[in-house]
Structure 1
Amino acid sequence: MRGAVEAKLRWPQHCLLLLFFLQGCAIPETQLTHIRVEAGASLAGYHVFEVEKVTNDTGKTFSFDVSSFFTDELESALRTKGYEIAEPGKAPAKALRVTCSIVSYSPSTAGEKAEATALGLVPGGFYFRPENIAVVKATLVDQQTGKTMADLISSKSQTETGVIPPISIDSAGHTVSLMSAEKLVLRYAAWGLASKIDETIKQS
């Protein structure tokens, strides 16, 4: 009897580990980020950014606010790199204004879901469509002069084979949630932009 009780107690833990493993299977296949710095321009010395809200130029609507999500992810990625994010309209003269547009975004999971029989008690399920794709363009503008300093493009393609939220496991007041693969591809695109900007500044 004791063994059966212990097995039941371990089942949620085993499910959680399995979910994290499967989520890890949804990894990016292609990560391409390019930058073109204007002739005579240099990004040396910039430490502050003003990130304008990203525009959705795909002509489509999605199940979540892709513009706000990408804006938050880009700001977070730049902060992680050690840069300061100024409030809109309050950036110092020596700052870079970042304008971005999502020109292509194809979340393969939109509206397509196959429940996993083995995990029928777990909210969410498995998604088997092949790819999530995001292409984002960005422009860096000198805050003081208004001069364009550089243009970037970040293209991400991600094969999807993992478990997708909504997954919420509440144990003793703790909630664990996983980010969906369709959002992860946007996060990777934002990180790609931040990494390329950081790399270019350090090489200037």
Structure 2
Amino acid sequence: MNLGQTYLDHYQRFLDDFDHSVSFEQGGANVQILNYPDAMDNAHVLASLGLTHYQDYLRDVVEIIVPTSEMDDVVVEGVAASLSFLLELKVTIEEVSHLRHLHRSVPAFFERCEKSALAFTPPFPFPDDFSRVRLEPSGLCGKIWMGFFISEAEVKFIEREGFDAFCTLLEDNEVDVIDLRRPSVI
């Protein structure tokens, strides 16, 4: 079974065609970030392809999508740095609700968007079956998580009140987490 092809087929089914990709290397394997410009209205969906090489680190068959309101090299660098940081930590996504590092690793992104971390959630703007990828012939399911960028004030709120309280705050205020220029909800 080719996990990369399985995820690529899954992405095409839900996200249509990607228009370009960039790659980064981590621990001897390449991870691609694919840009799906037409998957959502007024947004790009950046999707990882290659995190499946790191099942030992992540303890799961998983890829990550990051919908964003804008797309350029700085945004891609923010996504790549976040995925690389996740792999360096060697933790599961369930063990971390967010990764705070962008103020150090991609200062241009932090200064422009005022976001210091990438948070993880199930991919809510998509159908439920998007988050699960059937892995044939085993019948097992791989996962897709969604990342979205959060501010330093939001990070501190999560550390103080917990991630569930933060998600409730986002929902109550109808925050568009895909908007990179959105003000902090805190």
Q: TM-score, normalised by structure 1?
A: 0.24
Name the structure, 1 or 2, with higher relative contact order (CA <8 Å, separation 6+).
1
**Structure ID, larger Rg:** 1
User: Which has more helix, going by share of residues?
Assistant: 2
Q: TM-score, normalised by structure 2?
A: 0.26
